[in-house]
């Protein structure tokens, strides 16, 4: 029973991902402004919140830490496109979030603006991954 549900969820999440990715991609190059939530400038959690709200109508918590706390944790091996990538000192001190888009890359809002970049960059520490429940 569990595997049938997973297969259905995966098909649905792929559809969901296309919608989320389309919104995220459309914002590449937007400037970073601390505290900004769109639609023309973003901070990291403002960006992920904007993308989910404007693609699937899902409201995420406002900060990267709160988004981590509210997400369904997944391991690196179970990371799927559309999942959130959390960066910080530890799971209790998360200061950055991006959205995984496949091939080891995420789209995130950081000081160079909204960019696509590798999740495993030498200048930060990935502390966890979270799946956004799209079934609510």
- Active-site option among 43, 44, 83, 131: 44
- Active-site option among 96, 131, 133, 136: 96
**54 within 8 A of 134, measured Cβ to Cβ:** no
Closest listed residue to residue 31, CA positions, set 116, 118, 111, 117: 111
Closest listed residue to residue 133, CA positions, set 52, 38, 54: 52
Catalytic annotation on 131?
A: no
Residues in CB range of 5: below 8 A, 6 or more apart: none
- Active-site option among 43, 83, 108, 131: 108
What crossing angle do the helices spanning 44-56 and 2-26 adopt, rounded to 10°?
110
Residue 44 has φ and ψ, to the nearest 5°, of -60, -50
Catalytic annotation on 108?
A: yes
Catalytic annotation on 16?
A: no
**75 within 8 A of 129, measured Cβ to Cβ:** yes
Q: Report, as residue numbers or ranges, the catalytic residues.
A: 44, 96, 108
């Amino acid at each position: 029973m569990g595997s049938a549900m997973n297969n259905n969820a995966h098909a649905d999440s792929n559809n969901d991902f296309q919608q989320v990715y389309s919104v995220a991609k459309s914002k590449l190059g937007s400037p970073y402004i601390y505290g900004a939530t769109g639609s023309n400038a973003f901070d990291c959690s403002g960006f992920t919140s904007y993308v989910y709200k404007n693609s699937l109508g899902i409201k995420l918590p406002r900060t990267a830490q709160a988004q981590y706390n509210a997400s369904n944790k997944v391991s690196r091996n179970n990371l799927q496109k559309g999942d959130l990538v959390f960066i910080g000192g530890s799971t209790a001190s998360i200061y950055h979030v991006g959205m995984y888009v496949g091939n080891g890359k995420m789209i995130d809002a950081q000081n160079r603006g909204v960019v696509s970049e590798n999740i495993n960059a030498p200048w930060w520490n990935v502390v966890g991954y979270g799946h956004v429940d799209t079934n609510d």
